[in-house]
Amino acid sequence: MPQNLIQFQPGMSLDDFFSRYGTEAQCAAALEASRWPQGFVCPHCEATAHSRFQADGRAYWQCSQCRIQTSLTCGTLFESSKLPLTKWFQAMYLLTQNKNNLSALSLKRHLGVCYRTAWRLKHKLLEAMAERESTRVLSGKVVADDAVVGGKR
């Protein structure tokens, strides 16, 4: 019987995850590379010339053309969050690695945050994933796993 390519796609082990995203600097570098793959682009005027500076322990980018200042998390899901990026990345990993749903209580225990924080984190991430996939329409042969049709009456 042939292998299900979706089921056996390569994943990332916990060791791989922590070696790649274990520090705040690694998470920030990954976010910067994802947000600006060809280098900084101003969110206001789309110019690329900029200066970079540190203030209050955070990095800021200032557009040389329109003088708008932005941070790495500005305009993203992480904006206005007091949680470090490492916690956000860990939450993303945990939520995407489980075949079944991960409860906010379980997320709280894994991350070492309060329940309310875990609940908000989870729902922000699920909302972002749903929004990203909202325009995608399934076509062709669709196979669902672990489905129960009917049930006890």
Distances (CA, A) of 87 to 91, 111, 151: 6, 7, 39
Q: What angle do CA 50, 58, 127 make, to 5 degrees?
A: 95
Question: Does the structure show a pLDDT above 70 at 7?
Answer: no
pLDDT tens for 59-118 read 999 999 999 999 999 999 999 899 999 999 999 999 988 878 899 999 999 999 999 999
Q: At 130, list the tokens.
A: 């749903």
pLDDT the model gives residue 152? 72
Is 66 buried (19+), middle (13-18) or exposed (0-12) by CB count in 10 A?
A: exposed
The answer, as to whether pTM is greater than 0.85, is no
